[in-house]
Amino acid sequence: MRLRQCGVSTGLLIGVLGLSACGDSGGRPSVEGLLSTVPGSAAISCTTKLPRSAKDYTLVVNIPSDSDPTAANITPTTKISYTVMLPERCPGEVFPVIVQSHGYSGTRQKAIDADGMAAATRHFAQIDELTTLLPYKGYVVLSYDERGHGESKPANGGGYARIIDNEAEVRDAQAILDWMWDNASTGGKGAEQLPVQTEHARTGIAKDIRLGSIGLSYGGGFQLPLAALDPRLDTIVPNGTWHNLLYSLIPGDATKNGFTSLLCLLASGATDTSSTDKPAVINTPVVATACNLLGPTNANANNIRTRADLAAAGADPSNPAVNGNTGNQGQTSRAITENEVVDLFFGHGMAFFKKLEQTKQPYAAGQAPFKLRPVPALFIQGNRDSLFNLTEAYLNYSYFKAAGSPATRILSTEGGHMNPFAYQLEGSANCGGFDTPKAIYAWFDFQLKGIRSAAYDAIPEVCISVADTPAPSTLPAPAAVKLASFPVGSLSGTGAQAALLANGTAAVTPQNVETMPAFVKVTDISGDGYVIAGIPTLDSITVAAGTPASAVTPVAYVGVGIRRGGSLILVDQQLTPFVMGTHSNNRNFESTDNIRVLLPGVGEQLQSGDEVGLVFYCTHVQYQSVISSSVASGAAGAGGQTNPLPFSPPNVTSCINNYNVSFTNAALPILLPGTYPGATLSRP
């Protein structure tokens, strides 16, 4: 049984006010009227201010350290470690709270920035740094180690990582927020007397505080279910995170071996040879087993290419990657079922809540059918993100916007989860010439303090980076298009170029490797200044065995391509795999509006003479596993490669995955900024 969660406690990579599941959130004042109605928010002056400070805390929460029935050494409680950073202040001043958490395999922020000056230049690093700068902007910051990470590991009384489980990590966060209210200087009875702005007396929400959130990847993932389940959260700013982990990791029912194995490598701590805190993540058994199967300790990881392969390997107790803790990922690995994997990953994201809402189911027994409340949300995602592509952010943005949020925006960047084996370098958090960190400060100031600024008004509804796809180990010159709405499929009207191919076919042979993929043209570009920006779509795609038949299950690796002169560009280095069969929607989404195939969102500047279409690969580095040199011993997977560490790219010059593919209604979003309504080009 799921427990009611209404604001009270119920027991990475290198580099949304209305009804909720818990009823009416009611009583929330308008943002514009906030400052005049919040006690203690009027200007307070003093001769000597209390200095900025940071202090570490631990909290024992009445939530088991794991909920897996087969897990060992489970305790009835979990200790969570966190740091509270306070701004410079006069006695009696109170401030909104920003709660932050880290990426997978990361740890919390423990110190306020030394000089208050931003220095980071890469997207994810900028977001982490921004967290430590917020006390300079008049915010209390609470940063915490998720269970299984940092000082919240079982060895310290913490728990096992369950990948943002609604009944584990989300309840941990709620318990910390309860503690924050209990220890507030206004209304709380705890010993700390923190300068936290409380709102319970006005809103009627239990233990309510003025609250926003920020974080990247895993630290973006915690914000979404927290917003869905806890009415205290007033605004969210997720960066580079997921909508549906099944889509992230096994899109088209084929495994995303490349970045999955990198995640497992990070979890093992192998990328940080200076740290003795290994493994970096202590996982629950299902995740530990998945990492043993797909991670760098399994020389046969590349033979697990499909959901069916993963299910078969995970259910085989004789498999050494299943029987025992071979990957050092926490709990002892064991045989796992396909349903366990599906329940764990699908249940931990907004696709799960969307399915509840569309099927009119309650989150917990005895509750009304779930309905997402309208929480202001600023989504930021990377075009070239190899783990969570732009379409995931679009799906989150669309869901929160449909909930009636008074403010929902989406910005894309050239940052996010970069794959070093594909020689990807991470760009900044900016969207073209638009300063995203500055926008985040303005967002929080308006949503939490009611301070409206030119910087806030400048935040576009949609901003999509259209920087050129860079050559390996380079960064592109910034460029973006600002839009009034998010383009999906082929566009029409002024400034749009129709880009729709009713039917297409391709044959992929072992010779069609990364340097020679099959290309099918959808449209020609005549005239400069056009961009492709948004979500490409297909009505259907069918993958069949080629001739001769492969020794492996055929998987089509599909992306958007530009043929320019003698070169072929894989736009934003994005590919989606589709296992043999017919796909008329995105597998594993399970929502009633999943009526066509959405490819990863992309953005690119086009040139006159370009041919734009779809590309089909036999194999690609983004879908090749990382295999440790200590276990590879020359073994080659189904992709025909080995890849020793450290950071040597997989060899994908050979491939035995040949297939035939046919598709219907390939639709690409192509437009001319400055002519297409609401679209303008942005450069620094």
Is residue 249 a contact partner of residue 353, using CB atoms and an 8 Å limit?
A: no
Is residue 313 a contact partner of residue 281, using CB atoms and an 8 Å limit?
A: no
pLDDT at 425: 92
**Per-residue pLDDT tens digits for 379-399:** 999 999 999 999 999 999 999
**Per-residue pLDDT tens digits for 123-157:** 999 999 999 999 999 999 999 999 999 999 999 99
Please give the full DSSP string across 413-458, using - where no structure is assigned.
ES-SS--GGGT-----S-BTTB-HHHHHHHHHHHHHH----HHHHT
| Distances from the Cα of 543 to the Cα of 185, 517, 616, angstroms | 62, 16, 11
Q: What is the dihedral of CA 287, 291, 292, 298, to 10 degrees?
A: 170
For residues 602-624, b (16+ Cβ closer than 10 Å) or e, as one string?
bbbbbeeebbbbbbbbbbbbbbb
| Distances from the Cα of 553 to the Cα of 197, 311, 313, 542, 548, angstroms | 57, 14, 15, 14, 13
Q: How many CA atoms lie within 13 A of 24 on its CB side?
A: 5
- CA 52/CA 138 separation, integer angstroms: 10
Token pair belonging to 61: 């929460």
Q: What are phi and psi of 294, to 5 degrees?
A: -105, -5
* Residue that the structure tokens 């025992």 belong to: 324
Give, for 216, the enclosing helix (H) or strand (E): strand 211-216
pLDDT at 594: 87
Please give the full DSSP string across 18-61, using - where no structure is assigned.
-EETTEE---PPPSTTHHHHSTT-S----SSPBPPEEEEEEEEE
pLDDT at 549: 83
- CA 17/CA 24 separation, integer angstroms: 8
pLDDT at 16: 25
pLDDT at 273: 64
- CA 659/CA 545 separation, integer angstroms: 5
Mean pLDDT, consecutive 10-residue segments, the chain of 684 residues?
30 30 37 42 80 98 95 94 98 96 96 96 97 98 97 95 97 98 87 93 94 98 98 98 96 92 86 76 92 86 92 88 63 86 93 96 96 97 97 97 94 95 92 97 98 97 97 92 98 96 94 81 97 98 91 94 95 97 91 90 98 94 74 39 42 78 98 97 94
Residue 340 DSSP label: H
Nearest to 268 by CA among 279, 258, 252, 260: 279
In degrees, to the nearest 5, what angle opens at C-alpha 377 toward C-alphas 374 and 383? 135
Is residue 642 a contact partner of residue 276, using CB atoms and an 8 Å limit?
A: no
- CA 290/CA 314 separation, integer angstroms: 7
pLDDT at 647: 38
- CA 187/CA 182 separation, integer angstroms: 8
pLDDT at 77: 98
- CA 331/CA 154 separation, integer angstroms: 10
pLDDT at 325: 58
For the chain, the average pLDDT equals 88
Nearest to 657 by CA among 641, 633, 634: 641
**Per-residue pLDDT tens digits for 618-627:** 988 888 887 7
**Per-residue pLDDT tens digits for 320-368:** 878 765 445 567 788 899 999 999 999 999 999 999 999 999 999 999 9
- CA 500/CA 452 separation, integer angstroms: 42
